[in-house]
Amino acid sequence: MSLLMPDADRRPAVPLRLDVERWATFRIRKRVLAVVHTVTSARRLLDAVRLLEGDPRVQVLFTVAGDVFNHGVDEFLEDTRALVVPWGQAVHTRFDLALAASYGSLHELNVPVIVLPHGASYNRRISVPDGRRGRLPALREVYGLGRQWLVRDGVVVPAAIVLAHEDDRTRLGRECPEALPVAEVVGDPCYDRVAASLSARDLYRTALGAAPRQEVVLVCSTWGPDSLLGRHWDLLEQLAAQLPREDFRIVVMLHSNVWNAHSEWHIRSAFAGLSRCGVGLVSQHAEWCGALVAADYIVGDHGSVSLYGTMTGARLLTAGSPDTDLDPSSPMAELRSLAPRIDADRPLLRQLRRSSATYRPDRYARVAARISSEPGLFARRMRTLLYRKLRLRAPVARPAPESAALPVLLRYGEPGGARP
């Protein structure tokens, strides 16, 4: 289990004591704080902090910042076996560097913060208050690139803003030009992991329970009322009813926030009927990139997984909300303009076959190229950034992208579900 640090009014555990050298076994030179908001952001943070593995000079501690989707974070951190510092203590403790993959409360920290995106690119525009009393929100900023998330009291909060693509730097210049001096283009870890996994497609298909002649239909939903799941639950039922089981393996993958907002119990209950019809459900605890690589068809919405799907050669069909909240210049907007929209009122098998007949790989490759301008280089470039900010010489070994772990399906009737 994870080790929860004592509250601020108690004696701190060894790594944070002023007399740490008296008690510590390792000679710690630098302390890094990983700030977790949600399970989704925690997974992206692990892609960064694991680049410090093999260096006993650096101690990584975790803390949890307030967020509406905090549920599930404690369990996730327990699995890391890391030291977890209460937020009230973290904001009053000196660290050498902090990492985050979301934005809430970062201004409370007295430490340089590196902020990473927690998904593919920056795609949504969100209304924010315009600062004038009695006025309705009028400004629409790109989430993650606008001043609402990066500036506090006129000062840019992050010491470094990690971007995946040079185009993101250009977009940042339009949204928040004062943040440009701290922008760092390093690539995308999920892009690199998907690319490294493509050659093992048969292994991922087998893990999803697909027979050799079956085609895999991966249904991906982000969270919220405008998601695929929020708007089109009946689509799942119709896919199960209309696609011949001997020819198709249907698998569903949900955003972590869906699990955290509703609980595994509720989701297992909701999917019980679909499970009996042969529909698989990827566990919330499992790696998701392999499931994406296994897919012949991806039915998705405006979530990041659909964007990563452009890398795999799968036929993409879209569902979910209208695109009114998308930034027109974003990769997601381009994808949604290309991919056919699935219609639950028409025969679904015919729509899948038509998507294959009209598929233009060059168009989807153009969208995929907008995810990362540093393909295969996230680990190397991110580690260089970490050690530069820590003012340490990095170890000699160069990290390289690794393939994804095998996906794990939740099995109906098993208490607690399957965990990797």
Q: What is the pLDDT of residues 307-334, one digit of tens each?
A: 999 999 999 999 977 777 888 999 999 9
Average pLDDT of the residues in 89-96? 92
Q: What is the pLDDT of residues 238-270, one digit of tens each?
A: 999 999 999 999 999 999 999 988 999 999 999
Alpha-carbon torsion angle 290, 313, 123, 195, nearest 10: 50
* Paired sense of beta strands 215-221 and 297-300, if any: parallel
Rounded CA-CA distance 35/66 in Å is 10
* 249 contacts 208 by C-beta, under 8 angstroms: yes
Angstrom distance (rounded) from CA 190 to CA 401: 9
Reading phi first (left if > 0) and then psi (alpha if -120 to 50, else beta), residue 376 is in: left
Over 70: is that where the pLDDT of 405 sits?
Answer: yes
pLDDT grade for 8, boundaries at 50, 70 and 90: very low
Minimum mean pLDDT range among 18-27, 75-84, 101-110: 18-27
Using an 8 Å Cβ cutoff, are 57 and 30 in contact?
A: yes
pTM > 0.85: yes
